[in-house]
Amino acid sequence: MSLEGYQWPAPLGIEPFAHQKKTSEFLISNRKAFCFNEQGTGKTASVIWAVDYLMKLGVIKRVLVICPLSIMRSAWQQDLFKFATHRSVAVAHHSQAEVRKKLVLGDAEFVIVNFDGVEIVKKEVIAANFDLIVVDEASAYKNAQTNRWKCLRDILKTVKGLWMLTGTPAAQSPIDAYGLAKLVNPQGVPPFFGQYRDLVMYKLTQFKYMPKPNADAVVHKILQPAIRFEKRECIDLPPVTSVFRDAPMSKQQVTYYERLRKEMLLEVGGEEISAVNAAIKLNKLVQISCGSVYTDNGEVVDFDVSPRLAVVQEVIEESANKVLIFVPYSHTIDLLERYLAKNNILSETLSGDVSVNKRTDIVTRFQNGSSTKVLIIQPQAASHGLTLTAADTIIWYAPITSVETYLQANARIDRPGQKHNMTIVHIKGSPVETKLYEMLRAGIYNHSKIVDLYKEAVSTA
C-alpha cells in the first residue's frame, strides 16, 4: 500500500525523511509487523503517520501504545503533539488505578501506557476494543515466561494489529527472538521454547548454551515481516539527535528534594544569594535526583533510584553500538557501576581517581574492539582531548553546571572517525534538571542565570 497523495500532518514545515516514509508504508501494509530501525531514526514519527493514514481511511479508530515509562511523555506524547496535532492522546499513568482505567476506556485515539501498567488495566484494555497495539522498545517482551508477556498475549486475542519496535531484537542471544516472534509470527516458530532453543543453540553444559552457525538465519526467518534502517543508511538524518528520557524520582527522593527546596526558599527571602552558594545548593538538588547525596559531615546517603537506572539500561540495550555515560558525581558512579555489573553489562570508568596510564589503556580497549560496551565518564575528568568514536550514543545521567564541559563532552563522539549518526540522551527526573539542560543546550549558563535558576527552582512547587 502506498502513501502517495497523503497529506503529511506535520506542522512548521516538518517533512518525513525518505526512510520514514518507507517505514510508514511498510507498517500500513502489515497488520502485524516488526520495525527494527535503529535508535534515533524517527520510528515514533513513522508510526504516528502510518496510524493517522489508517485512521483517515477508517481502518482503525483507537491505538494503544505500550512503552517504557521514561518515554511516555518525552517521546510519544510530544511527538503526537508535533506530528499529529489533530489527534487526541491520553497518558494512562497515575497513582490511582481507577484514573488509569478511565483513561483507557475514554475516547482518546491514542492511549499511552507503560510496560508495568498494562496488567493494571488489562480488563479495560480488552473491553476498550483497540484496533492496534504498538509496543516500543519491544525487547521487554523477549521472555515468553513472564507475566508481562502473557498479559500481552491475552490482550492480543481481541486486537487486530500489532507493531513491535526495537533496534536490538536479539542483541544478547538468538533465544531473545522467541518471545517477540511468538507474538507477531506464532506460526513461524515451534510451539515450545525448548524446541526453539534446540534449533538455534548447542548445549555445552547443563547451564551453558552457544549459538549454532545457522542461528542468525533462523532468527531472521522467524522475525518477519520486518523492516530495518540503520542510522548510517539514513543520510538525510541530522548528524546528532538530542532526546530526553523521564526518570521519575522515588517517594524518598521527593521527600528529601522538597525538604532541601523549602530550606532554600527561606534563604531567598533573606539576604542576597551569591552565584557560588546558589550553584552549591542546586548541585545538592541534582545529587538527590541522581540517587546519592553528600551530607554536611561528608557521609553519603543513597536513595532508591531504580527508575533512573532502568532508563540507563533501556538506552544501552537499544543502542546497536557502544555507549558513553557522563555522570557528574563520584558516589553516583559507584552506584551505577554496581548496577551495570549486576545486570551483566560490561563497563569501565574514567574518573579523577584513574591514573593517566590506566586511562590510556581503557580508551585503547574501548576504541579497538573490546567487549566493553559502556564507558562511564566523570565529565570534569575526561571531557577534553579524548577520541571515543567507537560510541555513537551518549547518556547524560544528570546535568552539569558548565556549558564548556557539556559541549566538550559531547564532542568526544562527534569527531573524525565517527561512522554513525549520533544520539545524545538526557535523563531527567526533577524540575531543576529540566532547567539545567535547557540552559546547557542554549549555551547561556552564567553567574546571573544561575541565581535566576536558583530562585526559580526553589519557588517551583
pLDDT digits (tens, 9 = 90+) for 228-255: 998 878 767 778 889 999 999 988 888 8
The DSSP code sequence of 273-328 is PPHHHHHHHHHHHHHHHHTEEE-TTS-EEE---HHHHHHHHHHHHH-SSEEEEE-S
The DSSP code sequence of 131-200 is SEEEEESGGGG--TTSHHHHHHHHHHTT-SEEEEE-S-TTSS-GGGHHHHHHHH-GGGS-SSHHHHHHHH
Q: Are 322 and 375 in contact (CB under 8 A)?
A: yes
Q: Which three cell numbers stand for residue 447?
A: 553567574
Q: Which three cell numbers stand for residue 188?
A: 513461524
According to CATH, what is the number of the domain 240-248+304-436? 3.40.50.300
For residue 396, CA distances in Å to 9, 10, 266 come to: 32, 29, 31
Question: Taking CA 396 as the corner, what is the angle to CA 413 and CA 410, rounded to the nearest 5 degrees?
Answer: 25
Q: Which residue has the higher pLDDT, 272 or 189?
A: 189
Residue 369 confidence class, pLDDT cut points 50, 70, 90: confident
pLDDT of residue 68: 92
- Comparing CA positions, the residue from 68, 166, 156 lying closest to residue 115 is 68
Residue 279 confidence class, pLDDT cut points 50, 70, 90: confident
Residue range 103-131: mean pLDDT, rounded: 96
pLDDT of residue 418: 86
According to CATH, what is the number of the domain 18-233? 3.40.50.10810
Instruction: Say how far apart CA 219 and CA 215 lie, in whole Å.
Output: 6
Residue 363 has pLDDT above 60, yes or no: yes
Instruction: Say how far apart CA 372 and CA 365 lie, in whole Å.
Output: 8
Instruction: Say how far apart CA 399 and CA 381 lie, in whole Å.
Output: 15
- Comparing CA positions, the residue from 128, 457, 47 lying closest to residue 286 is 457
pLDDT digits (tens, 9 = 90+) for 314-345: 999 988 899 999 999 888 898 899 999 999 99
Do the bridges between strand 110-114 and strand 63-67 make them parallel or antiparallel, or are there none, so unpaired?
A: parallel
Rg of the Cα trace of the chain? 23
pLDDT of residue 126: 96
Mean per-residue pLDDT over the chain, rounded: 88
Q: Are 165 and 47 in contact (CB under 8 A)?
A: yes
Report the SS3 class of residue 383: coil
Residue range 113-132: mean pLDDT, rounded: 96
pLDDT of residue 355: 83
pLDDT digits (tens, 9 = 90+) for 402-422: 888 898 899 899 888 888 889
pTM as predicted? 0.82
Instruction: Say how far apart CA 234 and CA 243 lie, in whole Å.
Output: 18
Q: Do domains 18-233 and 240-248+304-436 have the same CATH topology?
A: yes
How many CB atoms sit inside 10 A of residue 138's CB? 26
Contacts of 342 (CB under 8 A, 6+ apart): none
- Cα distance from N-terminal residue to C-terminal residue, the chain: 50
Give domain limits for the chain: 18-233, 240-248+304-436
pLDDT digits (tens, 9 = 90+) for 253-273: 888 888 888 777 655 554 555
- Comparing CA positions, the residue from 147, 101, 99, 107 lying closest to residue 125 is 101
Q: Which amino acid is at 387?
A: T
Q: Are 101 and 28 in contact (CB under 8 A)?
A: no
Residue 294 has pLDDT above 80, yes or no: no
pLDDT digits (tens, 9 = 90+) for 43-98: 999 999 999 999 999 999 999 999 999 999 989 999 999 899 999 999 999 889 99
Q: Are 323 and 316 in contact (CB under 8 A)?
A: yes
